[in-house]
């Protein structure tokens, strides 16, 4: 593995760790408290998701399109399992989180 790939993975896992912590905080709170006390966690989640999963929302068709040439996916040639795992695990997570955020 090249140094550039290792550096990209480190940054990816660092962002993922922060996202997981913010989601855990929101899952453990009362829904009525979210707007008052946990707005900063919601902001961090909304900022972090595009950093981790490169996507574009097409307004004409109301569809989410994953960008395969940007972000972590630009290293798919160096990391053989990345494409399959990316679409298997990230896409369902992205859809659920975006649905929660747009409610």
- d(CA 17, CA 3) in angstroms, rounded, equals 21
Tens digits of per-residue pLDDT, 27-39? 877 666 656 677 7
pLDDT of amino acid 97: 66
pLDDT of amino acid 61: 86
Which one, of 80, 74, 26, 78, lies nearest residue 53 by Cα? Answer: 74
Tens digits of per-residue pLDDT, 83-93? 777 777 766 76
pTM over 0.75: no
């Amino acid at each position: 593995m090249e140094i550039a790939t290792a550096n990209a993975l480190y940054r990816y896992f660092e962002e993922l760790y922060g996202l997981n912590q913010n989601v855990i905080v929101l899952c453990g709170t009362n829904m009525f408290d979210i707007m008052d006390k946990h707005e900063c966690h919601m902001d961090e989640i909304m900022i972090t998701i595009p950093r981790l999963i490169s996507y574009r929302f097409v307004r004409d068709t109301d569809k989410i399109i994953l960008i395969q040439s940007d972000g972590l996916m630009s290293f798919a040639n160096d990391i053989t399992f990345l494409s399959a795992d990316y679409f298997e695990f990230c896409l369902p997570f992205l859809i659920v989180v975006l649905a929660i955020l747009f409610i």
